[in-house]
Amino acid sequence: MKEEIRTHLNNPRQLERLYQISKGPFKQEFNALYPEIKGNTLADFWNERLNYESDEINWGSGRELLFVLIASLLAGFIAKIPSIFQINEDFFYPRNIGFIIFPILSAYFVWKNKLSTGKIAFIIVPMLVGLIFINLLPDVEESDTLILSCIHLVLFLWSILGFAFIGEMKNNDERRLSYLKYNGDLVVMTTLIVIAGALMTGITINLFSLIGFDIEKFYTENVVIFGLAAVPIVGTYLILTNPHLVGKVSPVIAKIFSPLVLVMLVIYLVAMIYSGKDPYNDREFLLIFNALLIGVMAIIFFSVAETSKTTKSQTEIWMLFLLSVVTLIVNGITLSAILFRISEWGITPNRAAVLGSNALILIHLLLVTLQLFRTLSKKNDVSGVGKTIAFYLPIYFLWTIIVTFIFPFIFGFK
């Protein structure tokens, strides 16, 4: 679309047609192109049109509001399936938690991006395969492969949602980074909505208790469940219709947390040495260490995605570089601990999954750290870091397929 915008830059009718066909991608591609065409009268007009920020909340069209309302009710209904149809909750939720939200969000982006029938099929078929597969897996107690499949199925569905968001299979770095940015914005928005909802829940339950009505059980089992299921959908709707709501908050959070996480990591590694704890012999400590690694990596990627189109100061780039280096150290410790445990006690589904994911993360972090170093050396700009992050994302998708659908057969459903 970027080349089409460039080609038809002086053709107002054609630009309007492109915008009406796909408003979201048009805005993304135009904003990426604008620094090159700034000064053109029509380009300046479109820049103001697309990026004008009103102080008022935009509630979108009536059709979109209706879509969000129906989608929220449908998500709540899916979440209530166990109680409606008397299905074992311990069986249903671990296997189907991702299907409460991701198919509906995918449908939302399909509708927003006006995707073709073929692309819609590419979204629906993998989701149906995942739904059927996960619910046909043997209900075995203490099955590591079942737990791994359930966890990685959520990541698999998240990847499918990314395709619905991006709208194409070809390597579109800008759109992939926009998807990461959307996820960061969604975390911020849903957190605010959940906090507000928790306050309302507490006030409502206590107000009714003052007049002799105990509504806690009913409210929790109905209003809270429907509300929690609707939060990501409402959050997505607010982000798309009012990008300025979190557009200025998320970069600030990224700038604040990057140095704080760096300091915390350094202190934590030093404290670990003195504590006598190590991930080589302590399984729980290794799991926490691995979760820490994934969390810090997500912060690095989000920080780059959040500000990849802006000029970052040397201080910010140094901060991200140092954070990447320290994270590489954490990754190296985790990977060596996994290899040690495999050599001592043999291979298991959990160890194989952690080994594979850590190896992929290590390679990705090395590439990102190298690009950050090149940026500091003036051999590249920060956009190269974003391209490295975006290019590697499909590899994680392939790994989720392996763990979700192949691991159970490799390890005999154990």
Per-residue pLDDT reduced to its tens digit, 341-361: 899 889 999 999 999 999 999
- Tokens, residue 335: 């990977």
Q: Return the number of other C-beta atoms located less than 10 Å from residue 51's C-beta.
A: 14
Residue 117 CA neighbour count, 13 Å, CB half: 0
Q: Where are the domains of the chain?
A: 2-51, 62-244, 248-410
Greatest mean pLDDT among 124-138, 173-187, 266-280, 369-383 lies in 124-138
223-243 burial, b at 16+ Cβ within 10 Å, e below that, comes to bebbbbbbbbbbbbbbbbbbb
In this predicted structure, the answer to whether residue 330 has a pLDDT above a threshold of 80 is yes
Q: Which amino acid is at 123?
A: I
What's the whole-model pTM score? 0.84
Q: Is the model more confident about 244 or about 155?
A: 155
Q: Which amino acid is at 28?
A: Q
Helices (H), 52-116: 62-79, 81-84, 89-96, 102-113
Q: Identify the DSSP state of 137.
A: S
Name the 3-class secondary structure at 190.
helix
DSSP states of 166-216 as a string?
H--SS--HHHHHHHHHHHHHHHHHHHHHHHHHHHHHHHHHHHHHHTT---H
pLDDT for position 226: 95
In this predicted structure, the answer to whether residue 310 has a pLDDT above a threshold of 60 is no
Q: Which amino acid is at 142?
A: E
Vertex 299 angle, CA 294 and 302, to 5°: 120
Helix (H) or strand (E) holding 213: none
Q: Tokens 């972090």 correspond to what residue?
A: 365
User: Of the candidates 93, 60, 110, 20, which has an alpha carbon nearest to the alpha carbon of residue 240?
Assistant: 60
Give 188: exposed, middle or buried? Use CB within 10 Å, 0-12, 13-18, 19+: middle
Per-residue pLDDT reduced to its tens digit, 104-160: 999 999 998 889 999 999 999 999 999 999 999 998 878 899 999 999 999 999 999
pLDDT for position 127: 97
Region for residue 214 given its phi and psi (left: phi exceeds 0; alpha: psi -120 to 50; beta: otherwise): beta
Give just the sign of the alpha carbon dihedral 248, 253, 254, 259.
Answer: positive
pLDDT for position 52: 66
Kindly state the average pLDDT of the residues 302-312.
63
In this predicted structure, the answer to whether residue 23 has a pLDDT above a threshold of 80 is no
